[in-house]
Structure 1
Amino acid sequence: DKCASYGAALANEGGGKLILGVQNSPRKVVGTQALKDINYIKNYLRDQLHLRVIVEELDPFFEEQVKAQGIAVSGKEFLPLCGELTPERIIKAFAGQGIIPESGTGSTEGQSLTVVLPGRPPNMCPGCPHRGFFYVLNRLKAYVTGDIGCYTLGFLPPLSSMETCVCMGASIGNASGVVKVVSEEERKKVVAVIGDSTFCHTGINGLMDMVYNSVPATVAILDNRITAMTGRQDNPASGHTLSNNATYRVDIAELCKALGVKHVRVVNPFDLEETEKALREEMERPETSVIITDKPCILVKRPGVFQRGPLYEIDPEKCTGCRACLKIGCPAIQWLPDEGVRGLSHIDPTLCTGCDVCRQLCTFSAIGRAK
């Protein structure tokens, strides 16, 4: 009862914080049972709050469900249906209803609701199998026609390896068009990049047409065993149905051969030397070729699919601050500008997955397995 009462009081007074499970004196974590009946707390807050507004992006899904229970709430009457609900848009909407002052404050102390946050661009996960492949594409200065998936993040610095991204399956068709209008030497730089699920969805027909029209370009199929970008859904190449039942797994390499591709290679994207060798050789071919990367997404929780390797660490005595390891943009690698002579790199052990890519970039042998 106290937890629910405090929550209602804080909400009606403009907000605040409740710290649960910590003993006051002496300070000690003791745990809490305050939330054991969460439905009771929800109902209590619903009955006690003076204002009931459901804030959700896009369609009013929860709002309609709550109203269907006979509970009077507000939401889409003044909140937009389209676009991201940024703090600024929410403040403007609430201020327009007189819920908070026009100044953008909602607490009795006048504390501003807007906070200037540092820029945090989207990034591939630590240990993502796409990272090493895009690093090599950047190194080779390839002209990459991209597609829809996590790998679309390859267009961002420091990987910066994508020139086009139109719609699902467009990468292969775009590559087919690009090679028609560039010089013979530039043609060797064209690489279409597509994921396994997107390839199954609408890339197969593009590859078939590429072979049919004798297009001299390379297609890279990044097979990470899952539809990672939209929530780890299974697909025909994952070996499981959406109900998590085991089923036939489409063999992408054999499928490509059946479409008429004569040169199909499977590489380990965590091995930069192997990946670069394969790309160099296939990009030189005067006919359609396919490279398949074969390492799973780190978020696949199915037993036996993703195996976390030994963690890595950086020896501060050997690190020269050359920043070569930062060229892959791994979130596990931190730059400490105030350390050493000109700064040092550091690997966060809570984020490292042991993919080994960073070690291959260090020419000073400063990166090794954690002891």
Structure 2
Amino acid sequence: MATMRRRKQAKDDQLTESLLDDYDARDADDVAPEPHEPPHKAVPSAAAPSRHTALIVHPGEFNLQAFIQSVLAWWQRMFGACFGPIFSYATHLWPVPSREPQLSLLQAERLQQLRDKVAERFDIASPSHQDSLRRLWSLAFSGEPCTALKTPRWKDMGWQGDDPATDFRGAGLYGLDNLIYLAEVHPDTFRRLLDKSEGTRAAWEYPFAVAGLNLTWALSELLELHAPTGAAAAAAAAAANSNSDSSGPRPPRGAAGRAFLTLLSESEVAFEELYCAAYCLLDATWLEMRASYMEFNAVMKRVKGQVEKALASRPADMAQLRQRLLAGVPGAAVWD
């Protein structure tokens, strides 16, 4: 077995918390502003006042309910502040349609499954969670039995201390699942990233396992898989109340999250495959930037931006997304 690179001893404060920006703080910025009404032209004082008529045009075949919804939407813009109760009663009878995209049954099911996975915290007291840790151990240290869940040997896999349970933080159990997926489905890539066998490496390398947990967090945040909190939760609740006919998970609002829904329709392991490609991109970016341990945040920020850009270009499938992410990355052409 190849000798694994182990970063030199250093203070681990930089990786004990999430390496990403605050999720809730950006929620309000993601909402597109409502278009402004064009100002009315002032009527000259010398001219006789004219009557202003609002025309509501409904394209296509006339539909009574759609016409009434258009009237209500116009009424809300013009007089909502004065006649709020009347408008609320009217919209209860004739709800204004939501502008959010409609999810297919398959998309809704898989999106909810992903959000449930992201929400599950790692619990060292759980026997199944302990089994997952031992499973990752056997994949990383083939032929070497896992005799203890607390041992300095975990550091050789890129955990920060003797007890990997202290490193999970916001990534939860799904962060561990993604590392296992990488090892089982793409074993050569896993070994190359774990051993850091390519390129000129820094004296203080990024810790492999903890970096993987942070990558899970970054991608799930980008794709809006975390349950909203604070102001974001209030906005989501208000949207749900205004659209009482809707059921199932709320669609992502960002371009990257919406584009990901197409990939999710194609494959139930779309997130895991995105994770594996993004980890290859992370390592290549690390080498390109000649980064060291203290620059991990900058590397992660750049990787997250590249993933967002690639998804926003609306790739047709995972193969096309992988090509856009890893074009020019050494060794990426050979995908085990």
TM-score range, shorter chain: under 0.3
Give the TM-score normalised by structure 2.
Answer: 0.23
Relative to its length, the structure with more helix (as a share) is: 2
Decide which structure has greater strand share: 1
* Structure with greater contact order relative to length (CA < 8 Å, sep ≥ 6): 2
